[in-house]
Amino acid sequence: MPEQQSAQYKAALDFAERQVKSLVERHPDYFPIYTVGGKWYHEGELWTDWTGGFLTGMMWRFYRRKHEVEWRQRAAHYSRLLQPRQHDRNVHDLGFIFLNSYLPWYELTGDPAFLQVLVQAGRTLATRFQEKGQYLCSFLGPESLFIDIMMNVPLIFYAANQTGDKELRRIAVAHCRTTRERLVRSDGSTAHEGIFDVQTGRFLRQSTQQGLRPDSCWARGLAWSMYGFSKVFGLTGMEEFRETAELNAEYWLTHLPDDKIPYWDFDADLSQPLPFGPQKDSSAAAIAASALFDLARQAKSDERSLIYHNAALVTLDALLDPEYLAISTPGWEGILKHGVYHTRKNLGVDESVMWGDFFFVEALSKALEQRV
């Protein structure tokens, strides 16, 4: 990587460290999801509590970067705050939470107590499995399958790999196959949600909560799918899942606007007023950049690897523009501007969102560690 590019990435990580430090000093033990007017602390609705792992995950990344004891202590403290969630049966998000908190902690220390938390969280998540429809249901109810769950199912594979539990593996593989069949379309685009008949398990229709329409492609959902299937390929070596991730990547790379940052939904009508019109989602771009670094490592040919690697770098470079990176915006408390949480509910629209910041930090770290 050219020296100037690497210096820019390091400067962005330094900025990220300053922003997170200032958040945790100002609001200790608080896990915000999105900013309001650029400020983290607010009373706004959460919709669902799924993001604790992202703030914690950034702390582990910062510790890995410079080995400053302060970050390790903070990361361990915030991880510990999440521990009770290993038994949380109300969300489908335990992968987001534990793979970014207890997994880095376990990898650093090898402490079996941390592995036990990871395995328990994987077992809890697996209780969402709907035998009739062969999927893990979303927090909305047993009839609902979300594309986002692809980012959480790796926790079940991880627990299965660690324990040799074949039942956990069966559930996880079945979930991925159902998701691929019902939510990933033949052109690589994705639906956010699938609705099933809970009595028979029959698939009824595609739907959406956060996208524009049931038949549209919600940008973050596509990024979750690309990243999730790539992670699952990494954990299983099952070729069908790499193929799905590459199909998603194909749609992603051929449908982006010129500046490489997607609008919140690939089918958004740009002539409409905001928030449904030309609203960018920088968080989707950050997720995709991180996924593309992994896909580059996993690709079968050097040619594909280069395509994914370059696309990841171009995306990061686009996010470094002061239009997105908040470094030149006085008083803005997040790291990336122009993220979106929930357009329809008008939550965190055109704000910083915690996962956008996390995946940006993760992708910058991957670029600098040359993990491709």
Q: Which residues bind ligand GLY (CB under 6 A)?
A: 50, 148, 210, 220
Q: Which is nearer to ligand GLY, 17 or 148 (CB)?
A: 148
Q: Which is nearer to ligand GLY, 130 or 210 (CB)?
A: 210
In angstroms, what is the minimal distance from the CB of 66 to ligand GLY?
A: 30
Check if the beta carbon of residue 182 is closer than 8 Å to that of residue 194.
yes
Q: Which is nearer to ligand GLY, 299 or 363 (CB)?
A: 363
Closest residue to ligand GLY in the complex (CB) = 148
Question: Which tokens is 214 given?
Answer: 């049931």
In angstroms, what is the minimal distance from the CB of 148 to ligand GLY?
A: 4
Q: Which is nearer to ligand GLY, 115 or 286 (CB)?
A: 286
Which alpha helices (H) appear in 39-111, and where do they start and end? 52-66, 69-82, 94-98, 102-109
In angstroms, what is the minimal distance from the CB of 210 to ligand GLY?
A: 6
Q: Is the previous residue joined to 262 through a cis bond, with omega within 30 degrees of 0?
A: no
Question: Which tokens is 202 given?
Answer: 């029959």
Check if the beta carbon of residue 58 is closer than 8 Å to that of residue 356.
no
In angstroms, what is the minimal distance from the CB of 253 to ligand GLY?
A: 20
In 3D space, the residue among 268, 279, 295 whose CA is nearest the CA of residue 353 turns out to be 279
In angstroms, what is the minimal distance from the CB of 289 to ligand GLY?
A: 16
Residues linked to residue 357 through DSSP beta bridges, in sequence order: none
Check if the beta carbon of residue 334 is closer than 8 Å to that of residue 357.
yes
Cα–Cα distance for residue pair 236/152, rounded to 1 Å: 15
In angstroms, what is the minimal distance from the CB of 227 to ligand GLY?
A: 11
- Please name the residues in contact with 71: beta carbons below 8 A apart, sequence gap of 6 or more: 17, 59, 60, 62, 63
Question: Which tokens is 345 given?
Answer: 């509910």
In angstroms, how far is the first alpha carbon of the chain from the final one?
12
Q: Which is nearer to ligand GLY, 144 or 210 (CB)?
A: 210
Q: Which is nearer to ligand GLY, 15 or 47 (CB)?
A: 47
- Please name the residues in contact with 237: beta carbons below 8 A apart, sequence gap of 6 or more: none
Q: Which is nearer to ligand GLY, 236 or 283 (CB)?
A: 283
In angstroms, what is the minimal distance from the CB of 35 to ligand GLY?
A: 15
